[in-house]
Amino acid sequence: MTDVADDDLEPYEKLHRDGSLWARGQLYEGAEHGYWEFFRKDGTLMRSGSFDRGAQVGEWTTYDKAGAPYKVTDMGGA
């Protein structure tokens, strides 16, 4: 992943239509960068992993509704 100074990262959150948290991470020059988490409408963690300037990289973990990891996908490029 490309190294970016913390000062250059912008915290970002996106909400579902009902106002619950959908995604949380950071942007660099308008693109997802670094570690991100995605949530279901009920607030449980659905997926987590890292982006490198908008591209998914490394291992991404998908979680079941109880919060336990059940799938890991290697996106490469890390």
For residue 42, the domain's CATH number is: 2.20.110.10
Query: Range of 39's domain?
Result: 6-74
Nearest-angstrom CA–CA distance, 78 and 63: 21
Indicate whether 57 belongs to any domain: yes
Nearest-angstrom CA–CA distance, 77 and 59: 10
Mean pLDDT for 40-55 is 96
Nearest-angstrom CA–CA distance, 28 and 15: 19
Domain count, the chain: 1
Q: Residue 1 has what pLDDT? A: 76
Indicate whether 63 belongs to any domain: yes
Asked if residue 78 has pLDDT above 80, the reply is: no
